Structure 1
Amino acid sequence: MVKNSRRKNYQSLIFLLVFMLVILSGCGASASSSSSEGGMPEVIRIGIMPSEEGEMNRSQEQLAADITEATGIPAEIFVAEDYNMVIEALRAGKIEIGLIGPFGYIIATERADAKLLVRSESDQQSNTVILVRNDSPYQSVEDLKGKDFLFADPASTSGNLYPRATLMKELGLTNEELDSFFGSVAFSGGHDKSLLALANGNADAIGTSSLMVPMMAESGLVKEEDFRVIAESDPIVGGAPLLYRQDLPEELVTQLRELMLEYDTKNPKFLESVGAARFVEGSDSDFDPIRQVAKDLDMSPEELLSK
């Protein structure tokens, strides 16, 4: 069942503590933060979000293998419970690379001094959609008053930032008023989890990426015809950024960037799993539209994370 947001935030804190303790305690020598001569890390650890879909898990494992081959340094995948854990692990120096959303990028650059390695680019325009089950009676966001709503992740662009902005615009409410409009508001921990919760009747509506339903339908986990869009946002720009710890040697950063810029030919399944066609070189200004949406919500990243 959908839990209230306070309980979910408490659980996320517990998950974060466990995640950090596991890394700090080592999980073996490979989780050490020590570096070899020349400042190169002994292990390249990649923070990434969990997936319900087996093909994506395999493509993540292939990512680690490809990084190992390109750099000569063993690479490992560390699965985080949410974007905030990726950000905190980057800040603590416990991972070297993190894949996160555009809004997460803004938080990570401010909080963890992380740097942009590359960003994803898609041939499809994406945005946020407010979804209900096709057999539900809800025809508009106004019909959701007193119902259970599910966001994906506090640091998610298409799973929190844009859905909030869309709901505020449609309902004429402030961000402070939004949560009390619903019967309950919670975070699922991921877009796939939100969609499965909706499909299973554990939420009345969700905010998620427009690419999520066809992506999960292709894997056979859901059917597209089981869902209905009742509102949608403006297009999302910026792409999913791949970040690196700011103290990594420039030689290693160059090796990683060269690998990722050609990754559409090496591991297209991984790119598909993040709704992208390729990685491209990006700049900090690419994310200015996301900053503007956050500003329009009249809330700092820290306040949005605490929702």
Structure 2
Amino acid sequence: MLLQLKNFKVSLAFLSVLLLLVLAACGDSEGTAQGEENDQPAESNQSDNDEDATEDPAEEEVAGNDWPEKINMGVIPAEDQTSASDRVNEFAEELATHLGIEVDVFLGTDYNAVIEAMRTENIDIAFFGPFAYVLASERSGAEVFSIGGKSEEEIYYTSAIIVPKDSDAESIADLEGKDFLFVDPASTSGHIFPRAKVIEDLGVTNDEVESVFGSVTFSGSHDASILAIVNGDADGAAIATDVMDAMLDQGVINEGDFKIIASSDPIPRGPDAYRSNLPEDLKEAIREFYYSYENERFFEERGINGFYPVEDSAFDVVRRTAEALGMSPEELLN
């Protein structure tokens, strides 16, 4: 009996050890499985993170987009500052909406102010007179892209020399010794081309032009010169016919208020140009806005029907005229 009990205790002990071994084995298996389950999400998360790092939508959205927070638009004073400001501010606001960035307007006091502002990158886009653009392309890296006109073929205008309606003058020669107005030293139609016309018609040299008239003054804008003639405050003036036509259309002046006694050869209209070092996609967006722009009031005031593409070569006639005068950019601007 004692022997049987002893054997039973040994068997029980053996079974206990065996049970512990089985439980331990099961525990390791479950631990391993649990560990594998814990590791799997970690691998999955890492893979997801890698994909996120590669395909981050925010990064794709700004990739290559180095646009400035705002751009500045410069305006040459071709007409009354107040009315031009109202019109251009409206235009700038619409451009800002199209681009999604702020657009501020810089009203230059003269041609040189806008050219210099672009050279120092204080303005990014500007409306220039034809010769002012030539200077800006040489000095300030201006790149022409748009020109206003009646159509893509009608992008030219002329310079005219006008006198008061009751003037006895019928030609430039009749203005010798009289008071004469140019617009601005760098104005294509308000100085460069009419100056060349004076030289051609009177057979004088460039240095003798001022001595032809009793006095020569720069009015600062085409509309100021036109109004001076209409009001009888000057004997003769050189003006742009597109500004004259716009003032006629608006009823500011009437055809009977003045007389035209001379006209120049066709001149390309004043173009729009931006800094050549602006981001290419920004320049493309600006072009898209101009070419698709529709605002009858704006076009009526500018005397155009729309904006059209234009190449730098269109202004070679302006360069040739300046060369014929033998005038340096510094002389034209001072």
TM-score (norm 1): 0.81
Residue 287 of structure 2 is aligned to residue 260 of structure 1: no
Correspondence for 1:247 among 250, 274, 277: 277
Contact 1:214 1:224 in 2 (8 A): no
**Per-residue deviation at 1:57?**
4.0
Correspondence for 1:228 among 252, 256, 259: 259
SS at match of 2:106: strand
Point out which structure has higher relative CO (alpha carbons under 8 A, 6+ apart).
Answer: 1
In structure 1, stretches of 5+ residues that fail to align are: 1-36
User: C-alpha offsets along residues 9-52 of structure 1, whole Å, 9 cap, x if unaligned?
Assistant: xxxxxxxxxxxxxxxxxxxxxxxxxxxx9532222211113443
User: C-alpha offsets along residues 208-259 of structure 1, whole Å, 9 cap, x if unaligned?
Assistant: 11233332123232222010011111111x3321111222111111100111
Contact 2:157 2:269 in 1 (8 A): no
Correspondence for 2:182 among 146, 151, 162: 151
Partner AA of 1:79 in structure 2: L
Contact 2:119 2:139 in 1 (8 A): yes
Which moves more between the two structures, 217-226 or 290-299?
217-226
Aligned to 2:3: none
- Whose Rg is larger? 2
SS at match of 1:108: helix
Contact 2:180 2:235 in 1 (8 A): yes
In structure 2, stretches of 5+ residues that fail to align are: 1-63
Aligned to 2:170: 139
**Per-residue deviation at 1:78?**
1.5
Name the structure where helix makes up a greater proportion of residues.
Answer: 2
Correspondence for 1:160 among 165, 182, 191: 191
Q: Percent identity?
A: 42
SS at match of 2:157: coil
Correspondence for 1:101 among 120, 129, 142: 129
TM-score (norm 2): 0.75
- Alpha-carbon distance change, 77 to 53 in structure 1, aligned in 2, over 3 angstroms: closer
Partner AA of 2:275 in structure 1: R
**Per-residue deviation at 1:107?**
0.3
Aligned to 1:127: 158
Aligned to 2:71: 44
Question: Structure 1 CA distance, aligned partners of 2:290 and 2:119?
Answer: 22
Which moves more between the two structures, 40-49 or 67-76?
40-49
Correspondence for 2:116 among 88, 91, 109: 88
Which moves more between the two structures, 207-216 or 269-278?
269-278
- Alpha-carbon distance change, 213 to 116 in structure 1, aligned in 2, over 3 angstroms: closer
Contact 2:159 2:194 in 1 (8 A): yes
Give runs of aligned pairs for residues 23-62 of structure 1, distance below 5 A: 38-50=65-77, 51-52=79-80, 56-62=84-90
User: C-alpha offsets along residues 98-151 of structure 1, whole Å, 9 cap, x if unaligned?
Assistant: 101111111001111111132223355521111000111222111111111111
Give runs of aligned pairs for residues 199-214 of structure 1, distance below 5 A: 199-214=230-245
Calculate the aligned-residue CA RMSD, in Å.
Answer: 1.9
**Per-residue deviation at 1:271?**
3.2
Residue 102 of structure 2 is aligned to residue 74 of structure 1: yes
Correspondence for 2:205 among 159, 166, 174: 174
Question: Structure 2 CA distance, aligned partners of 1:129 and 1:290?
Answer: 16
User: C-alpha offsets along residues 144-169 of structure 1, whole Å, 9 cap, x if unaligned?
Assistant: 11111111112211111111111111
Residue 215 of structure 2 is aligned to residue 184 of structure 1: yes
SS at match of 2:161: strand
Question: Structure 2 CA distance, aligned partners of 1:212 and 1:224?
Answer: 13
Q: State how many pairs are aligned.
A: 267
SS at match of 1:211: helix
Contact 2:158 2:266 in 1 (8 A): yes
- Alpha-carbon distance change, 83 to 270 in structure 1, aligned in 2, over 3 angstroms: farther
Aligned to 2:38: none
Question: Structure 2 CA distance, aligned partners of 1:171 and 1:275?
Answer: 32
